[in-house]
Amino acid sequence: MTRTFLSRNPSVLWFLLALSLFTLGVTLMSEATGAALISTSFVKTLGKTLCLCLVALAMDLIWGYAGILSLGHMAFFALGGYMIGMWLMYARTEEIVVAAMANEALPATALEIRNGIAGQIFGVVGASELPPVWLFAHSLPLQLMLVVAVPGVLALVFGWLAFRSRVTGVYLSILTQAMTLALALWLFQNDSGLRGNNGLSGLQNIPGLGHVPQATLSMWFFWASALALGVAYVAVAWMMSGKFGSVIRAIRDDEQRVRFLGYPVEGYKLFVFTLTAIIAAIAGALYYPQAGIINPAELAPIASIYLAVWVAIGGRGRLYGAVIGAAFVSLLSSWFTGGRAPSVNLGFYTINWVDWWLVLLGLSFVLVTLFAPKGLAGLFDLAAHIRAPDRKGAPLGPDDGALMEREARK
Amino acid sequence: MNSLLEVSGVSVTFDGFRAINNLSFTIGPAELRAIIGPNGAGKTTFMDIVTGKTRPDEGKVVWGEMAHSLLRMSEAQIARAGVGRKFQRPTVFEDQSVSDNLVMALRAPRSPFSVLWWRPKPADMDRVQALAAEVGLAAELPRKAGELSHGQKQWLEIGMLLAQEPRLLLVDEPAAGMTLAEREHTTALLVELAKTRAVVVVEHDMEFVRRLNCKVTVLHEGAVLAEGTLDHVTKNPQVIEVYLGR
C-alpha cells in the first residue's frame, strides 16, 4: 500500500524507456542531427505518428477507462490544429506582405499590412476582410491559449448537455459523431471564416524560422511530440493509478452504483471528456505543423472511427495498448496506402493494397474484437504468462465464483 | 418524536400502474425497522424513491434535523447526505481489488478535483483493514472483487456500506444466498448498527425478521397495511389474508 507510483506501475518506466530509445534512435538517424539514414519526410511521418499516439491515449482514457465511446475526438484534434494553423498562416503571410511592401515609397501602415494579409489568405474564397474569428491570429500566446480553450469549452458545453440528460452508450456515440459532422460541414462553408474546403496550408513554414531548414524543424517537432506523449502518458497513468482512476473505472462498470456511493458521476464524465478533448487538441496542434495542411475533411466522422479502431486493435483499458495500436495501425496504413506495399497477383485478380487496405483493416478490427479483445497489448500478457480464465461451460458450484467446466479441466 | 426520515403521502405511477399509493413512513435516528410484503408491494420502489432513483408524482420526503426535502436532490447528493443502500444482488466493482472497492466507499470528499489529489493516509488504510476484518475479508484485500464467492461479495458490499458511514441504511434482502452462520452474523451486525443509526431491512424471510426483533412495517399494493411488532402484525387478519395466508 505504501509503494510508490512507479513501483506500482512498472509499465510506465518501460514505456518511457522505449519512447526515449525510439527518440534517440530517430535523432541519430535523421538528416539534421545524425547519420541521414532516414529522410526528413519520414521523420515527419514518425513525429505525426507520435501525435496520433497522444490522441489515442486520450481516446483510451475516455473509452477504455471511462467507458464513453466518443466518436468525435478527432474533431478536438483538428480544432487544435486549426487554432495553431491560424497563427502560423497569419504570421507567415505577414512576413511575406511586409517584405513585399518594403520596396514601396511610403512605409506601409498597420491597416495596409492587415488588409494585405487578409487579401492573401482569403483571396481564395473571394473575401478580402479578416473574419472575426481571426481576431487573435496575430498573437502566438493568445492563439496557443485558444488551442486549449476552444476545444475545451466545446467539450465542456457539449459534455454538460449530454451527460446532464444522462445520454449514455450508443446514443452518446451518435451524438458525438453528429457533433464532429456538424462541425466539419460548417467548416466546409467558405463563410465560416476558415477558408472553407481549402483549409489552412503552408503550416510547415514556421514564421520567424525561415532560415531553419525543414530537416531541423522536423526534428524539433519530433522531439516536442515525443515530450508531449511522455508527459501525457505519465500524467494519465498517475491519474488512473489512484482513487480517481478507481472511480472512473467504476463508472464504466456500473455508474448507478457509483451514484449511490455519493460520487457525482456526471461531473467525473465531464472532467474526463474535457480533459481528453484538451489532450487531443494539443496533439492536433503538434500534428498539423508537421502535416503542413489542414482542411475540414480532417473532421470527418471516419477519422474518429479510425481512432476507435486503433485503440481497439492496440488494446483498450491500458495506456500502452492505445499507443501501440495507434503507432502500428497508422504506420501500416501509410505503408499500404502509400503504394509501397507490393500488389498481390492472384491470377484472376490483382489485390491492389491502396484499395484493399480498408478491407484488411476492417477485417482485422472484427477479428481482434472477436478473438483477442485485449488487442496487441494482450501479447505482453502472453509473454508474461498471464492468462484470463476461460470461464465458458456450466458452473460446477452454486456460487458465482465457482469453477467453470473448462477451467476445471485444465 | 424526532425523526430522521419522514415520507408522507407519496404516490408514484408507472404507465398507469400505481406502484406506491399514498405511502407514509417514519423512522428515527437510531432504529431498526423491517419492511415485509408480497411481491409487487412496492418495497423496491420505496427504496428507489428515498435514494432518488425514482421521483414520486406527489408527496414529501423529508430528511434530517434541518428537514431538507430529498426530492430536489440527485442520487449522489442523497448518498452524501447519509443514505446508504445495499442491493439485493451484490453489486461490487468486480474489476477492482477488494481494497480499492473499500477505499472508494470510504467517507471522504467526493468531487472530481478533491478525489484527483486524494492519496490514502495511514489512518485510511487502517480503516480499510478494520472494515475488511469486520466483514471477514481481511485476507482478501489484494484480490479482485470478481474472484470472490457470492457470499463474500455480499459481505464486501456490506463493508462498503459501513465505510460510507451512512445515517440511514437501506438493506434489500441481506440474507439472500447466505449460510446459516452468516445469517446470524448479519443479524448481529444489523442490530449493532441500529444502535447508532437508522436501519431499514427489506426481507422476505420471516425467520430472519423474527431474529431482528424489531418493529415491522407491512406493505401491500404500495401502501402501509400494518405496523408494529412481528407478533402484532402477524395477528392482523388483513396481513394474514394478503401475505401470510398464501
- For an interface test with B, the pick among A238, A241, A257, A261 (most B C-beta atoms closer than 10 Å) comes out as A261
Overall number of domains in chain A: 1
Going by C-alpha positions, the residue among A251, A240, A223 that lies closest to residue A276 is: A240
A126, part of any domain: yes
**Tell me: the pLDDT tens digits for B130-156?**
999 988 899 999 999 988 888 888 889
- Min CA distance, A252 vs chain B (Å)? 10
pLDDT profile of chain A (410 residues), mean per 10: 70 93 94 86 94 96 94 95 95 91 82 89 84 90 96 96 92 95 93 89 89 91 96 95 94 92 95 97 96 93 92 91 93 84 82 85 89 85 69 58 58
> Are A250 and B152 a contacting pair at CB < 8 A?
no
* Cell 530517430 sits on residue: A26
A318, part of any domain: no
Percentage of residues in chain B with pLDDT exceeding 70? 98
pLDDT at B234: 84
ipTM: 0.89
CA–CA distance, A398 with B10 (Å, rounded to integer): 40
A156, part of any domain: yes
Q: Which domain holds residue A40?
A: 5-297
pLDDT at A1: 41
**Tell me: the pLDDT tens digits for B95-110?**
899 999 999 999 989 9
In angstroms, the Cα distances linking B12 to A301, B24, B49 are 43, 13, 9
**Tell me: the pLDDT tens digits for B61-77?**
999 888 889 898 999 99
Q: Which residues contact B60 (CB under 8 A, 6 or more apart)?
A: B6, B7, B8, B9, B10, B69, B71
Q: What is the pTM of this model?
A: 0.90
Report the sign of the C-alpha dihedral through residues A236, A239, A240, A241, in that order. positive
In angstroms, the Cα distances linking B200 to B8, B159, B165 are 17, 17, 15
φ/ψ of B135, rounded to 5, equals -100, 15
Q: Which of B77, B118, B164 shows the shortest C-beta gap to A261?
A: B164
Q: Which of B75, B112, B125 shows the shortest C-beta gap to A267?
A: B112
Percentage of residues in chain B with pLDDT exceeding 90? 40
**What are the chain A neighbours of B100 within 8 Å (beta carbons)?**
246
- For an interface test with B, the pick among A258, A275, A400, A404 (most B C-beta atoms closer than 10 Å) comes out as A400
Which amino acid is present at A332? Answer: L
Find out whether B22 and B220 touch, Cβ atoms under 8 Å: no
At A5, list the grid cell. 507510483
Q: Is A156 on the interface with B (CB under 8 A)?
A: no
- What rounded mean pLDDT belongs to chain B? 88
φ/ψ of A264, rounded to 5, equals -75, 90
Q: Which residue spans within B15-157 are E strands per DSSP?
A: 17-27, 32-36, 58-63, 68-69, 83-86
Q: Which of A262, A265, A398 shows the shortest C-beta gap to B80?
A: A262
Going by C-alpha positions, the residue among B10, B3, B4 that lies closest to residue B219 is: B10
**Tell me: the pLDDT tens digits for B75-92?**
999 999 999 998 888 889
**Tell me: the pLDDT tens digits for B21-46?**
888 999 999 999 999 888 778 888 99
* Cell 487579401 sits on residue: A119
pLDDT at A2: 46
Does residue B17 register a pLDDT over 70?
Answer: yes
CA A206 vs. chain centroid, Å, equals: 22
Does residue B243 register a pLDDT over 80?
Answer: no
pLDDT at A289: 95
Report the sign of the C-alpha dihedral through residues A255, A258, A262, A267, in that order. negative
At A165, list the grid cell. 440528460
- Min CA distance, A275 vs chain B (Å)? 12
Residues B115-144 as b/e (b if ≥16 CB within 10 A, e otherwise) read bbebebeeebbebbeebbeebebeebbeeb
Find out whether A151 and A79 touch, Cβ atoms under 8 Å: yes
Going by C-alpha positions, the residue among A159, A75, A322 that lies closest to residue B112 is: A159
- Min CA distance, A1 vs chain B (Å)? 8
- CA-nearest residue to A164 within chain B is B74
Residues of chain B in Cβ contact (below 8 Å) with chain A: 51, 53, 74-77, 79-80, 84-85, 87, 91, 93-96, 99-100, 103-105, 110-112, 115-116, 118-120, 125, 147-153, 160, 164
Q: Which fold has domain B5-244?
A: Rossmann fold (3.40.50)
**What are the chain A neighbours of B77 within 8 Å (beta carbons)?**
262, 264
Report the sign of the C-alpha dihedral through residues A240, A246, A248, A253, in that order. positive
**What are the chain B neighbours of A398 within 8 Å (beta carbons)?**
150
Alpha helices in A60-188 (DSSP H): 73-101, 110-122, 140-164, 169-188
**What are the chain A neighbours of B110 within 8 Å (beta carbons)?**
261-264
**What are the chain A neighbours of B160 within 8 Å (beta carbons)?**
261
Going by C-alpha positions, the residue among A25, A391, A15 that lies closest to residue A234 is: A15
Q: What share of chain A is helix, strand, coil (3-state, %, to 5)?
A: 70, 0, 25
Q: Which of B111, B115, B150 shows the shortest C-beta gap to A400?
A: B150
Find out whether A129 and A199 touch, Cβ atoms under 8 Å: no
> Are B112 and A249 a contacting pair at CB < 8 A?
no
> Are A261 and B99 a contacting pair at CB < 8 A?
no
A219, part of any domain: yes
A267, part of any domain: yes
Find out whether A75 and A276 touch, Cβ atoms under 8 Å: no
Going by C-alpha positions, the residue among A175, A180, A150 that lies closest to residue A162 is: A175
CA–CA distance, A363 with A375 (Å, rounded to integer): 14
CA–CA distance, A251 with A296 (Å, rounded to integer): 34
A366, part of any domain: no
